[in-house]
Amino acid sequence: PRVLILGAPGAGKGTQADRLTAAFDLEHITTGDALRANKDMETEYGTPREFMDAGELVPDPVVNEIVEAAIDDADGFVLDGYPRNESQVEYLEDITELDVVLYLDVAESELIDRLTGRRVCSECGRSYHVKYDPPAKEGVCDECGGELYQRDDDTEETARERIRVYEENTAAVVEHFRETGALVEIDGEQDPESVFEDIEAAVEAHT
Ligand code: AP5
Ligand code: ZN
């Protein structure tokens, strides 16, 4: 299946996309991870870092190119972090069709807490949370022993700006897929296991 997962910063897209890719043997296409791996790449617009550390969107042509190459190589995928505005929606709809669009609904008041408490494994990329999903040993990944770090954009100030940018640009993307009828709303405030059960059922119903 070709799955798109939408949701505000911190809604749990990455957490759920990891489970989904494992359960259905899909590619995880994530513009956030792809950009973080190339933060200092020179483009005609500057480096991704200049935008990301401020919580702003990286210019569309840079992101569109990443997604197009990844989708060309994938059979089934979970797309996470893209599209983030209406122009990216148009680009995506020209290059592929989607089977289902999931929207993780989480109240804004929860998001800041989730973002500022997130810790990420520097080796395998798994996300933890200091309160909601702490590792057995502080600062160390349960799965691979890698060191955990905090993302540069997970400060409270940048997290707030990311949520503002989401409301300004990306909320319209959710509305777009609501209008096309593809959107399945998932209650993202449940525990991760229950969120995943709902997601699994939605994907199975649409493929
Ligand atoms: P990106 O990496 O995509 O960040 P984001 O959209 O802000 O999403 P996050 O990764 O922060 O959150 P998530 O929803 O994946 O949550 P997670 O599962 O980790 O983008 C970063 C930047 O790159 C952008 O700001 C922009 O600059 C640039 N960029 C990326 N794509 C772009 C594009 N298309 N166009 C232009 N620019 C682009 O969970 C968060 C935390 O909550 C974790 O600690 C987790 O453990 C915890 N958690 C998860 N689920 C639950 C739960 N059910 N209950 C309790 N805690 C939970
Ligand atoms: Zn790890």
- Ligand at shortest distance from the CA of 131: 1
- DSSP codes joined into one string, 141-199: -TTT-PBEE--TT-SHHHHHHHHHHIIIIIHHHHHHHHHHT-EEEEETTS-HHHHHHHH
Judge whether 126 counts as a catalytic residue: no
Q: Is 151 among the domain residues?
A: no
Give the model confidence (pLDDT) of 103-161 as tens digits: 999 999 999 999 999 999 999 999 999 999 999 999 999 999 999 999 999 999 999 99
| Total number of domains in the chain | 1
Q: Is 31 among the domain residues?
A: yes
- Three-state SS at 100: strand
CA of 148 to the centre of ligand 2 (A): 8
ipTM, interface predicted TM-score of the complex: 0.97
pLDDT confidence bin for 207, thresholds 50/70/90: confident
Q: Is 71 among the domain residues?
A: yes
Binding residues for AMP: 31, 36, 56-58, 81-84, 88, 151, 162
Residue 63 sits in a domain whose CATH number is: 3.40.50.300
pLDDT confidence bin for 10, thresholds 50/70/90: very high
Q: Is 144 among the domain residues?
A: no
Residue 90's domain comprises: 2-106+183-205
Q: Is 96 among the domain residues?
A: yes
pTM for this predicted structure? 0.96
CA of 128 to the centre of ligand 2 (A): 10
